[in-house]
Chains A and B, each alone.
Chain A
Amino acid sequence: MTLAETGIPTAEQVEGCYPPAAVRARGPVAVFECFQRIPCDPCYWACPRGAVLEFQDINDLPVVDWTKCNGCGLCVARCPGLAVFVVDETYAPGEGLLKLPHEFLPLPEEGEIVDALDRGGSKVGQARVVRVVGKRRGDTPVVWIALDKNLLRDVRAIRVRREEAGGLCG
């Protein structure tokens, strides 16, 4: 099944855009899950370090210079497609850090335990919220979560457990 049929990138697509192990071993780094040529370039303008190479055509897919990316996450908040994430395998022994866009209320609190969801929305584990960045109205909040290092590649969304308790989210 292809991305166009399911809305979920294939294992090959995920593998193909994932930064190499040597890059991940250095610290936080952005992962661009952008697989379709559409007219869009805010990630290029978002990066203060020039890590997203200049587009020849506005439909180009972003190309990242890993040597320049420090995983700051500005592009995570800026991507209109919410298709950028930051993974950090060096966060703590056994524990990785994931920065992901999250546009649902109520926002999680720092220290809160949330469900960790994969690209198909299935719960694959849990995570601890470390920080929530960008709470101003209109910003895309970026939630930093600490979780099992083995889940860094698969978790792409969170579910705040209070939402369920309040019956707000189906």
Chain B
Amino acid sequence: MTAYDVVVVGGGPAGLCAAITAAEYGASTCLVDRQDSLGGQLVKQTHKFFGSKDELAGTRGIEIARVLSERLARLNNTTVLLEATALGYYSDNVLAVEHGGAFKKIQASSLIVATGASERMLAFPNNDLPGVYGAGAAQTLMNLHGVRPGKTVLMVGAGNIGLIVSYQLRQAGVSVAAVVEAAPVIGGYAVHASKIRRIGIPVLTRHSVKEVLGREAVEGVVVWRVDASWQGIPGTESLIDCDVVCLATGLTPLVEILWQAGCRMTRVPELGGHVPVSDENMQTTVPGVFVAGDAAGVEEASAAMLTGRLAGLSAAHRLGFCPEYGPLSARARRGLASLRTGPTSDKIRAGLQKLKEALP
């Protein structure tokens, strides 16, 4: 059985930063990812990121994936296992992994779970028809595989993902009929909304999907106005002609391995659902198990990079590495706090407060 000081599950922005940090401070580090290349969702993010200079603001997500992967590759105490799925973590600090058709056991003195989040489904008639996609799935199709999901899209949800993917659909030559949003206001950044409005994509707030039409595939969508409690108002229906529906209605943390490892979990709607109870240094309630990125609570990628760094510092320090842990972790926490001070982080701050109250 191979043994490492730190094993990181998930090679997105959080996992990459966690692995780089732990290895930089001397811990032998193994990064496990189920995809065939590192970067997680970064590899299809063709837009420039916000955040601060330290988290590569102003750089396109796909470029951030390349920069971080190269930074990791330059460290000689790291191992990367691609196309490897983490199956479980056991009390003797063993991570079970499926890799290359074989069952493998990896000894992990510290474990960092950076598994990300998955897209939420929405309930409406015919939501199982071909042509109904998660917005992230449509983004993968076009930006990673070069395949257009269809001719005309209705986007559901005006958060950042819905707005960004609408813009990228147009860049790929796909028409976007409208973005519908049940809330009275656009949830995503105003600059993303302005980008799609000035290229002629309408945003219908207080609107939702009543039903999707079609027998074999999507042939159109009936949308209607919703009231303050998001219930459809009969008589306000209109038909939108499209062959694709993209759902951008939120993300839920992917935390199965944390449940299985015995971490105390708590449901915090502001953070996307069930998340592990963790302290300000990303330590869960199971000693030696840390969490980073969207698995700790759904946020922007810039925050994921910083929680990854913090988890990497904590995981290494626990094993005696990183003597400068005090000031270094304080700096990472200050960076996070500064990203989270603005009005667009109200929800995150409320969620983190609940998480703090759940600490033993």
Contact residues in A for B339 (Cβ distance below 8 Å): 39, 58
Contact residues in B for A9 (Cβ distance below 8 Å): 190, 194
**Within the assembled complex, what's the spacing in Å between the Cα atoms of A79 and B302?**
16
Interface residues of B (CB under 8 A from A): 47-53, 57-58, 60, 63, 152, 170-171, 173-176, 184-186, 189-201, 203, 205, 300, 302, 338-345
Contact residues in A for B47 (Cβ distance below 8 Å): 80
Contact B197 A38 (CB under 8 A): no
**Residue of B whose beta carbon sits closest to that of A170:** B175
**Among candidates B53, B186, B199, B343, residue contacting A117 with C-beta atoms closer than 8 Å:** B199
Q: Does A94 contact B (CB under 8 A)?
A: no
Contact B170 A36 (CB under 8 A): no
Assuming A37-B343, A39-B339, A81-B50, is B170 touching A119 (CB within 8 A)?
Answer: no
Contact A7 B170 (CB under 8 A): no
Q: Does A95 contact B (CB under 8 A)?
A: no
- SS of B interface (majority): mixed
Assuming A59-B341, A81-B192, A83-B194, is B57 touching A41 (CB within 8 A)?
Answer: yes
Q: Does A156 contact B (CB under 8 A)?
A: yes
Contact residues in B for A41 (Cβ distance below 8 Å): 52-53, 57
**Within the assembled complex, what's the spacing in Å between the Cα atoms of A58 and B173?**
35
By CB atoms of chain B within 10 A, which of A9, A39, A170 has the most? A39
Contact A58 B338 (CB under 8 A): yes
Contact residues in B for A20 (Cβ distance below 8 Å): none
By CB atoms of chain B within 10 A, which of A4, A118, A120 has the most? A4
* Contact residues of A between 53 and 95, Cβ < 8 Å to B: 57-59, 78-83
Contact residues in B for A104 (Cβ distance below 8 Å): 170-171, 199
By CB atoms of chain B within 10 A, which of A37, A78, A80, A159 has the most? A80
B245 to chain A, nearest CB (A): 16
8 closest Cβ pairs, A-B complex: A170-B175, A81-B191, A121-B200, A7-B193, A59-B342, A42-B58, A80-B48, A40-B50
Contact A39 B194 (CB under 8 A): no
**Among candidates B52, B57, B191, residue contacting A82 with C-beta atoms closer than 8 Å:** B191
- SS of A interface (majority): loop
By CB atoms of chain B within 10 A, which of A8, A79, A103 has the most? A103
Contact residues in B for A140 (Cβ distance below 8 Å): 48
Contact B338 A39 (CB under 8 A): yes
Q: Does A33 contact B (CB under 8 A)?
A: yes
Contact B50 A78 (CB under 8 A): no
Contact residues in B for A12 (Cβ distance below 8 Å): none
Chain A: residues with Cβ within 8 Å of the partner, total of 46
**Within the assembled complex, what's the spacing in Å between the Cα atoms of A119 and B190?**
12
Can you offer 20 A-B residue contacts whose CB atoms are under 8 A? A36-B190, A37-B343, A40-B50, A41-B53, A42-B58, A46-B58, A57-B341, A57-B342, A58-B342, A80-B48, A80-B57, A83-B194, A103-B171, A119-B197, A120-B200, A121-B197, A156-B194, A156-B198, A169-B175, A170-B175
Contact B203 A6 (CB under 8 A): yes
Contact residues in B for A18 (Cβ distance below 8 Å): none
Interface residues of A (CB under 8 A from B): 2-9, 33-42, 45-46, 57-59, 78-83, 103-105, 117-122, 138, 140, 156-157, 159, 168-170
**Among candidates B48, B63, B197, B338, residue contacting A7 with C-beta atoms closer than 8 Å:** B197
Contact B344 A36 (CB under 8 A): yes
**Among candidates B51, B60, B176, residue contacting A40 with C-beta atoms closer than 8 Å:** B51
**Within the assembled complex, what's the spacing in Å between the Cα atoms of A104 and B195?**
12
Contact B338 A168 (CB under 8 A): no
**Within the assembled complex, what's the spacing in Å between the Cα atoms of A160 and B168?**
17
**Within the assembled complex, what's the spacing in Å between the Cα atoms of A169 and B176?**
9
For the A-B complex with A59-B342, A81-B195 known, give 15 more contacts whose Cβ atoms are closer than 8 Å.
A4-B190, A7-B186, A7-B190, A7-B196, A38-B191, A39-B51, A40-B51, A57-B342, A58-B342, A117-B200, A118-B198, A121-B197, A169-B170, A170-B152, A170-B170
Contact residues in A for B189 (Cβ distance below 8 Å): 36, 38, 81
**Residue of B whose beta carbon sits closest to that of A123:** B200
